[in-house]
Chains A and B, each alone.
Chain A
């Protein structure tokens, strides 16, 4: 009962250290915050705009938080946003158990709380269950012209094996599917610094990974434990200290929202793979990797042949779009869906 009326419940902040009996066993592949006050500070410093982006939060805002780890950040964010609903989805059984204890305690006191949802965020099915079957979360469908104003996705993607989710979900943004079918839903993730380094564009030394984020998302670095060089992006981020985290590995917090585009994304995906095969080589050389005849085809296009001789790593976003559009109308274009190979093809 009290759960449904969270918005009305008193908003006493959750403090994880108020539950000293709970053992969090720092040892986890995830790199998580250890010190809640640091996160409080971070939110205050850099994320106050969130409060304005999500009006009337206690009544209508939902947050989906994945792989929370020890819920230091989750608690801080929860306290900060005071959303109507805050779901922590994870596979970490022991951690969820502990969080449940906190939630139970809060509920018993009639306090607002986050809740857990035991499922694997890696599995698409989890979200169908979450929104359709279990109805643990109801999300309003909104227009893509502005950022969704009642739903926020966040989580910790610092484990090696689930890094992939960042890319998958980014593509979901572009494709408007998964949870991104509800609108332009803002996502905030903790990621290893190494991963951040891949996704931020380094002018003159561009790679496909950064191109993805540059083309399909608005990327902002909220916080980082290390300095980095990237265009405009380094202007204003919160300096983190590694000692406040569970692992001795540089970490960053990023925020992404959707950027619209107008070309065939599948060709884009295919083409960028090929064109960045050898980033230091010329566009012409790399074009050869697309399909026989591609170089000649590009040479026949006036808006393209001008940049065929520069290295791929210097290609701009728009130039790539030109290439994509050229391939789309190419009579001898390759079958972009056959670009894989069968592993260990031997078995009688």
Chain B
């Protein structure tokens, strides 16, 4: 039993949770294969395991660092091989018998841990200690508990003075008595820090018999580098116990080894130069921008001539400032770059002299250094150093920057008088901010007060109790920051969620809460890093040393244990969010203009700028926050504005590598490997797999994607900007529509149908208007980011969706975006085209024009035939009828045209240095995988798995099949057929064919086709005809890809069965619903991707939880509520998800290999990008990896895995009344009735079977014998394999009965003749 903290008040109470009785229940799986047990929802870790993990990360890190230092090219080559076995090596399984309760426990635990952390940070030791004690009684793993105690100790000891040594010693001595666990290395590390800090003797702590120096220094984070240095001075012999990465650092510090380490000669030169140059930032007068509050730094324009029309995108300005006008804690780092540039200028290496004060286009400098590889390398290195600091600013300081820009606008405008202030948005925001600040500060004070009082007197009133729930959290962040975050979030969310000029309250408050949490984490991460490295690297400035410091920091970021990994509950987030919204709402005002309905006069006034209201949708009440229309007009006038989340922009330095499932990507914000949908189950599996070492391949692949450097295609940006500023429609940029115009409202005496129609039209119009606006807004957003990053070298940190597909973490602008986004992106690195690259670039252009259905040679010819057009387009892209605009993907085409035209102007085009990503796309990648799985010859041919002279085009082919069918119908006199006969084009059916793999239904397909036909036939006819066509398209696809559909159906059937099966070793109440007596199907489909990633389909009925905030109650889906699975979703989604897990594996495998071969690599799921010159090599890799992936029978393997994982599960099936199984069951039931006098219910059946299995598993031979003799309905039927593994038929049929059977999966469809190795020679497999 244990005592925990009731979340409402902080007094310990005594419910029972985390009972340990059920945890280690043996799994039914008794196969020879290893079955790892996930226990409860978290994988048990021992400190040893943890240390091992840490150690392995260190090793890998060092290896990587070496790569970066010296010999690039040789990364790890031994990854676990998942690819050549029919068995999945580790079938992970959750074995808790008590899923629901376990999850609830997790919820309480998670909240408690979070509260502990927060209380510690606010130095509330009384409360912390209470929490800690209550945790001691909880069923935490010892490791978790030690961690908590150590965290407490860590913070608490900081409050002690030198004289309190006794207290500290006492703490350690009574460690076990108090907490029932023993101190560990970290405890001692903390103690060491205390001693060193206070100049107390510490030798004792290094002589512990069990806690070795090694394990102490394994927690060097807690000691600090500076302190370690002091310790080492006294105990040089301990140097060996220090993690390697820091050893280097400390060696330098200790022995002044500068001279002994070979300096890199070139750098040394520059080091010398460095002194000559004055910091150019000073000359710009902006070095201390963030500290000097009153001066807005002059904005440097990066050579983009034209500003984007709406200039004032919130937050963006601050981003630009962050990028341009950075302060640095180490001015030498900055000046390294400037001195290098100065040096280059002096040596006249660049073609033109650089104006360092103006031209900060790093990309162009880089390009101009192309002929000077040495200098180029130096430049890149200097840039990296420089960016290191900028990235830090970008992630950590942008909130402050926002305030500054508002304030400055306000101050500047104040000089100009009152009117301009009214007009300026930023000035208005500054006012809101200023007015709301006292309110927020008051709230914070109130929270402090309440917390203090709660220490002595138990809280009584509801409002105090409520405040107590969030009070500890709100104190964590400065009130100013809280407000700015809130304002930015609100503006960002404007018109989201289908709400005009407003947003859902739920979304608003949670987004704000989340943003605050994330800001808090950033602060913490930054703080712990600064603490750890304090006093380091201030004095020494050798290049080599700085480099070591940088790598040490990187290492620190990927391993630091001081990192906060507790999460704030939704409760807290929502409450804090609502506090801020309330404050803002009450003070934010705006000038308004209205018309007096009586006099008709225009009236002016001041009104709240936003308000809280409810709207109704289908009888549901939704709480929304809306802006006053005058405010909306204002932001419309000044442009479409969205606040940028500065923490998730592209990164200026390489993202933190993934070594671990919860650290990677950005420096100072938490990113998980998997974008789990608030599904603890998913995380549990991923964590287990990660710690099992199964995810190495995944990490390697992601890390390759992360290091691909990008830059902005400035020429394209200039053009887009121009088009944008015109406000007119241009390609896919919609026109700027000033206002929403609705048709006149009908008289109310009219027939109701008239009003209905008017409403429909109005809704439609309004929808279009807002869609247009949001599209403009999105484009603007993209452009703003692009503009901020002109000339920069940047990276996209990636993570995965739950199926393993990779996505850039930075939203809005990345290479997964639309044609425009892609057109704006170039590889930073340039590579010579060479013969082959020149050819591929031509092919690429042809592809972008949509000429991708002809042979490669024809594509080359297409481009060659258009040389004149290419030159014209390149020279005068603005021309109204410019050729490039006709392309399928015009922006990318134009980008390619620029390169081609430049190359062609060279004497030898193959010498051209290309930055343009060239794509190789799988033709219908989903079907390719299906064909390979099924060995389907015809299917393989259709999707270019087998070699052919010309590429096959599935869509055209299907169109042909459909055409044939329609023609037939025309002959038979079908009227629809005649109408559409001549409209069946590739484009019409393309989407349907594509989505067919995802299980699109008849209705969806109809809509898709209708969309294509609307232009030709008008809305109504189009829909009518689409219904007809959809049927034929479906039939044709099914006919053409029989193999694929067999597998698709098989996958679906498996998922259906799994999704409606039950695990009977669960607690009874979790098997059958006590109320409805129906089976509770809790089993989601889980499988392991070929790369070792466990995938859990998260589809369940969602449990709603309601949170009361001071605005309103909001409803969220409770992530800790485990509900029955949504069987339908499980089976409709499984086939596509499985295929996606395969293509994800294929992509990551290819990425790893490309990385190994030093190709620049990027991917959009099934479109793989590299430099033109490397396409040939990449193509080889793609094919090899595909073959590697499919060389085993993945379907059979999947079945094996399922059988292992779901062994012993039961399924309810309908079978024929007169089948053998049915008869046996009926007999058994009859006997039971006779014997017991009551009918055998389903629960009874399950109870009996449970009992039988328990007996069989018993150690007592008698019991086993009894079990062997025992009969149950399940035992009766379990050997009738044929009957119970038949696909279940519709249960509505007559003469069927439902019985429980052991879960069996249908046989794998027979594999066809196709040999996947043919892919090797298929030119058009990816092209």
Contact = CB atoms under 8 A, between A and B. Distances in A.
Interface of A: 124-125, 128, 168, 172, 175-178, 181, 265-266, 273-274, 277, 288-293, 328-333, 335, 337-345
A251 B498 CA distance: 38
A80 B146 CA distance: 85
B612 A342 contact: no
* Interface range, B side: 35 or more
A175 B745 contact: no
Contacts of A178: 751-752
B982 interface: no
A177 B594 contact: no
B598 A345 contact: no
Contact of A341 (B609, B611, B617): B617
B201 interface: no
B194 to A, nearest CB: 54
A335 to B, nearest CB: 7
A345 B497 CA distance: 7
B498 A331 contact: no
A266 B749 CA distance: 13
B595 interface: yes
B751 to A, nearest CB: 6
Interface of B: 497-500, 592, 594-598, 603, 605, 607-617, 621-622, 624, 628-629, 742, 745, 748-753, 756, 762-763, 766-767, 770-771
Most buried by A among B499, B595, B612, B752: B752
Contacts of B611: 288-289, 291-292
Given A293-B608, A341-B500, A274 B771 contact: no
B628 A292 contact: yes
A347 to B, nearest CB: 9
A61 B624 CA distance: 50
B752 A168 contact: yes
Nearest to B631: A292
Nearest to B1007: A347
Nearest to B756: A124
A63 to B, nearest CB: 22
B498 A277 contact: no
B749 A177 contact: yes
A337 B748 CA distance: 14
24 contacts: A124-B752, A124-B756, A125-B753, A128-B753, A168-B752, A176-B749, A273-B614, A274-B613, A274-B614, A277-B614, A289-B613, A291-B611, A291-B628, A292-B592, A292-B609, A330-B594, A331-B595, A332-B605, A338-B500, A340-B617, A341-B615, A341-B622, A342-B500, A344-B498
Contacts of B614: 273-274, 277, 289
A273 B612 CA distance: 14
B499 A341 contact: yes
Contacts of A343: 498, 617
Contacts of A329: 596-598
Given A266-B748, A343-B498, A331 B594 contact: yes
List the 4 closest pairs (A to B, CB-CB), nearest first: A331-B594, A342-B498, A124-B753, A292-B608
B613 to A, nearest CB: 4
B629 A335 contact: yes
A293 B598 contact: no
Nearest to B623: A277
B751 A340 contact: no
A298 to B, nearest CB: 14
Contacts of B762: 337
A258 to B, nearest CB: 14
A37 to B, nearest CB: 38
Given A293-B607, A337-B745, A343-B617, A331 B752 contact: no
Contacts of A340: 615, 617, 763
Contacts of A338: 500, 766
Nearest to B619: A164
B607 A292 contact: yes
A175 B749 contact: yes
Contacts of A181: 749
Given A332-B605, A332-B607, A177 B748 contact: yes
A329 B596 CA distance: 7
Given A339-B615, A345-B770, 11 more contacts: A128-B753, A168-B752, A175-B752, A177-B750, A178-B751, A265-B748, A277-B613, A290-B613, A292-B609, A342-B498, A343-B498
A329 B484 CA distance: 37
A337 B758 CA distance: 11
B771 to A, nearest CB: 7
Contacts of B607: 292-293, 332
Contact of B767 (A277, A333, A342): A342
Contacts of B753: 124-125, 128
Contacts of B597: 328-331, 333
Contacts of B497: 341, 345
Contacts of B617: 340-341, 343
A94 B16 CA distance: 58
A342 B763 contact: yes
Contacts of B608: 292-293
A345 B498 contact: yes
A348 to B, nearest CB: 9
Contacts of A288: 611-613
Contacts of A330: 594, 597
Contact of B612 (A128, A266, A289, A333): A289
Nearest to B758: A337
Contacts of B500: 338, 341-342
Nearest to A290: B613
Contact of B751 (A128, A265, A277, A344): A128
A76 to B, nearest CB: 30
Given A293-B608, A342-B767, A337 B498 contact: no
Contacts of A292: 592, 607-611, 628
Contacts of B499: 341-342
A304 to B, nearest CB: 17
B1026 to A, nearest CB: 16
Contacts of A168: 752
A19 B498 CA distance: 55
B196 to A, nearest CB: 57
Nearest to A343: B498
A182 to B, nearest CB: 13
A290 B594 CA distance: 16
A125 B757 CA distance: 12
A340 B619 CA distance: 12
Contacts of B621: 277
A125 to B, nearest CB: 7
B104 to A, nearest CB: 31
Contacts of B498: 341-345
Contact of B752 (A172, A265, A291): A172
B613 A337 contact: no
A341 B756 CA distance: 16
A166 to B, nearest CB: 14
Nearest to A342: B498
A109 B247 CA distance: 110
Nearest to A178: B752
Contacts of A331: 594-597, 603, 605
Contacts of A274: 613-614
Contacts of A342: 498-500, 763, 766-767, 770
A96 B578 CA distance: 56
A345 B766 CA distance: 12
B1007 to A, nearest CB: 9
B37 to A, nearest CB: 40
B771 A345 contact: yes
Nearest to B602: A331
A329 B615 CA distance: 23
Contacts of B750: 177
A345 B622 contact: no
Nearest to B499: A341
Most buried by B among A168, A175, A332: A332
A288 B592 CA distance: 17
Contacts of A341: 497-500, 615, 617, 622, 624
